[in-house]
Amino acid sequence: MTGMLALPERAWAEPKTTITIGAPGIEGVTVPEDFLGLSYETPQLYNQAFFSPRNRPLIAAFREIAPHGVLRFGGSLSAYSRWRRPGADFGSVKEERAIAAQRNWEWKLLDPPLTHPIAGAITPGALRSLRGFLDATGWRCIYGLNFGSGTIARAVDEADHVHRILGPRLLCFQLGNEADFWAGNPLLRGKDYSFDLYWDEYRSFVRAIRARVPNAPFAGPDVAINLDWLARFAERARGDALFCSGHYYGMGPASDPRMDARRLLANGNEKLTQEMTAVERIATRTGMRFRMTEGNSCFGGGKVGVSDAFASALWGCDYALQTASAGYLGINLHGGGEGLYTPIASSPSGPVLRPLHYGMASFAPFLGTRLRACPIAEALNATAYLAESGGTRLLAIVNKSDTPVAIRLADMLGLSTMPSSGRLLSAPTLDDKVNTRIEPIAPSNASLPTIPPYSALTLRWDRAA
Question: Residue 237: which residues within 8 A CB-CB, separation 6 or more?
Answer: 218, 220, 244, 288
- Confidence (pLDDT) at 7: 59
Instruction: Read off the pLDDT of residues 15-44 as tens digits, 9 standing for 90 and up.
Output: 678 999 999 977 889 999 999 999 999 999
Instruction: Read off the pLDDT of residues 55-84 as tens digits, 9 standing for 90 and up.
Output: 999 999 999 999 999 999 999 999 999 999
Closest among 367, 376, 394 to 458, alpha carbons compared = 394
Instruction: Read off the pLDDT of residues 361-390 as tens digits, 9 standing for 90 and up.
Output: 999 999 999 999 999 989 899 999 999 999
- Confidence (pLDDT) at 452: 93
Instruction: Read off the pLDDT of residues 271-320 as tens digits, 9 standing for 90 and up.
Output: 999 999 999 999 999 999 999 999 999 999 999 999 999 999 999 999 99
- Confidence (pLDDT) at 182: 98
pLDDT above 70 covers a percentage of the chain that reads 95
Does position 447 have pLDDT exceeding 80, yes or no?
no
Question: Which one-letter amino acid corresponds to residue 62?
Answer: F
CA angle 175, 251, 356 (to 5 degrees): 80
pTM: 0.95
Q: Decide: 52 and 14 in contact? Cβ < 8 Å.
A: no
**Alpha-helix runs per DSSP H in 287-391:** 310-325, 355-363
Mean pLDDT of 239-250: 98
- Confidence (pLDDT) at 5: 59
What is the helix (H) or strand (E) element at residue 136, kind and residue range? helix 124-137
2 pLDDT band, cuts 50/70/90, is: very low
The whole-angstrom separation of Cα 39 and Cα 223 is 15
The whole-angstrom separation of Cα 346 and Cα 107 is 14
Taking all residues of the chain, what is their mean pLDDT, rounded to a whole number? 93
- Confidence (pLDDT) at 14: 63
- Confidence (pLDDT) at 6: 58
- Confidence (pLDDT) at 3: 46
Does position 1 have pLDDT exceeding 50, yes or no?
no
Question: Which one-letter amino acid corresponds to residue 41?
Answer: E
The whole-angstrom separation of Cα 121 and Cα 79 is 13
The pair phi, psi for residue 197, each rounded to 5°, is: -65, -40
The whole-angstrom separation of Cα 205 and Cα 151 is 9
Show the domains of the chain with their CATH numbers.
Answer: 4-28+371-461 (2.60.40.1180), 34-367 (3.20.20.80)
